[in-house]
Amino acid sequence: MSNWTPPERPEWVAKVIEEGEHMDIKRVVPLNPDELMATAIEATGFSDFGADYWLEGFHVFIDALENEAELHLLGRLMARSDILNWLQARLGIEAAYAQHPEIEDEVIDSPVVVTGLPRAGTSILFELLAQDTQFGSPRNWEIVFPYPPPETATYHTDPRIEQCEQLVTQWNRVTPTFAAMHELGAEIPNECIVAMSYTFLTENLPGQYQIPSYNAWYYQQDLRPAYADYKRMLKLLQWKNPRKHWLLKAPSHLGNLPVVFDTFPDARVVITHRDPIVAQASVTNLLGTLYWMRSSQAFDAGAFENLMTPEAGAARLNGVVDLLEGGTVPTPQIHHFLYADLVSTPAEALTRLYQEFGEPITADALTAMQSYLEHKPQGKFGKHNYSIGEQQEIERKRGLYQRYQSYFGIPNEF
């Protein structure tokens, strides 16, 4: 992991970074908490940020950016833009609830929550289920710009879509190899941890920046306030554009299943399972690429052992098995889905999943899913290359993951 090699930067990106080396970029692009909040207030005309639990994470995050992330000029610009959008989202959501308290009466009915190991098929399953019209997924544009709330009549023509399209696809222009790892677009559904960025209590932040102090702080926190805030966002998003059932997704839910069920008691959780050695090698490359977008700092894999070492990964997965066996979560509401089945027999795998939901998959939904797969074959956006290590190390990892793979019947991919 520590030998990860960054991709070559586009010439324009390299030149912007080089120019920034001759500037006092911390003054040119300030990341001062008070100034950021004041700027967001000025931009929106609102001043209520809601419950103040998020302030601690906000300050820990900003401090870590300044002292640990080693942002280059473009990285600071991207960070400032994101932070202002998140602050303005907080302000807009609170304004909407103040103007229309009845939004609180909205019901989040039996959402489907997709989770699993990062890079274990959660994204493609999420995108496939999103083809079923009974599900509504939070799209990038409404996550970034939740206020004013989206409306059915303009859901696909809202001018915020184009603005968001330029923001989210900027990642591919800064680091073109990212396109092979994850498709981006304003109208593409995105993860809960991305939507929860406005809570400043989310794995999305250490997923974009090397900020070990925030990472250490985050794993000591009670996530219920952030999940509760996220539920408020979903209520707002469905208020004028109803969704029969929300379809949600984030790998991080896997470690937070009790919180998920506390927040959404009638949730149907789908856990995807894939050979953990392959999945972990892939996420190493993903994180390294994300960090490289905003910083030239060497990739310090050791600072993220809780996410990246096989020992920690195996402990986390065994913890899921313990949770299921301990009966502390409603196991009938948890469904297991093998990545290998999705690759080999997608229609059959999806049909079985719906049977577990207790409802048939409609012909229209299955046709839409099959069409989506045909237009998005593996490798469409380039090949995602990653190393899986030497044979001796592989055998050691197999031993660590044996319980997890045996419990869920997960085949080796090599």
φ, ψ for residue 115, nearest 5 deg:
-145, 180
* CATH number, residue 293: 3.40.50.300
Q: How far apart are CA 92 and CA 243, in angstroms?
A: 21
- CA–CA separation, 195 vs 118, rounded Å? 17
Q: Give me the pLDDT at residue 67, please.
A: 97
Residues 189, 130: contact at Cβ < 8 Å? yes
pLDDT for 1 equals: 45
- Asked if the structure places residue 333 within a domain, the reply is yes
Strand arrangement of the beta sheet that strand 112-116 belongs to: 135-136, 245-249, 112-116, 268-273, 334-338
| β-pairing verdict for 112-116 and 135-136 | unpaired
Count of structural domains within the chain? 1
Residue 2 within a domain: no
> Which residues is 400 bridged to in the sheet?
none
* Phi/psi-derived region of residue 123, left when phi > 0, alpha when psi is between -120 and 50, beta in every other case: alpha
Angle at 377 between CA 371 and CA 380, to 5 degrees: 125
Return the number of other C-beta atoms located less than 10 Å from residue 171's C-beta.
18
Would you say residue 3 lies in a domain? no
Report residue 271: phi and psi, to 5°. -105, 120
pTM: 0.92
Q: Which domain holds residue 281?
A: 11-408
The DSSP code for 210 is -
Mean pLDDT of successive 10-residue stretches along the chain, which has 414 residues: 78 97 97 98 98 97 97 98 98 98 98 91 91 95 98 97 96 92 88 97 95 94 98 98 96 94 98 87 76 90 63 89 93 96 95 95 96 75 53 88 95 89
Residues 6+ positions from 51 with CB-CB distance below 8 Å: 225, 229
- Residue 4 in any domain: the answer is no
249: which strand partners?
Answer: 114
6 domain residue, yes or no? no
Distance CA 85, CA 80 (A): 9
176 contact partners, CB below 8 Å, separation of at least 6: 7, 10
Whether 161 maps to a domain, the answer reads: yes
Per-residue confidence (pLDDT) for residue 375, from 0 to 100? 86
Q: Are 353 and 337 in contact (CB under 8 A)?
A: yes
For 29, 130, 135, 234, the CA distances from 65, given in Å and listed in that order, are 12, 35, 37, 29
DSSP string covering 229-273: HHHHHHHHHHHSS--SEEEEE-GGGGGGHHHHHHH-TT-EEEEEE
Residue 228 is assigned to a structural domain of this protein: yes
**E strands, 105-204, where?**
112-116, 135-136
Query: Which residues have a Cβ under 8 Å from the Cβ of 80 and sit 6 or more positions away?
Result: 29, 30, 31, 36
217 lies in a domain? yes
Q: Which of 138, 147, 143 is closest to 93 using CA atoms? A: 147
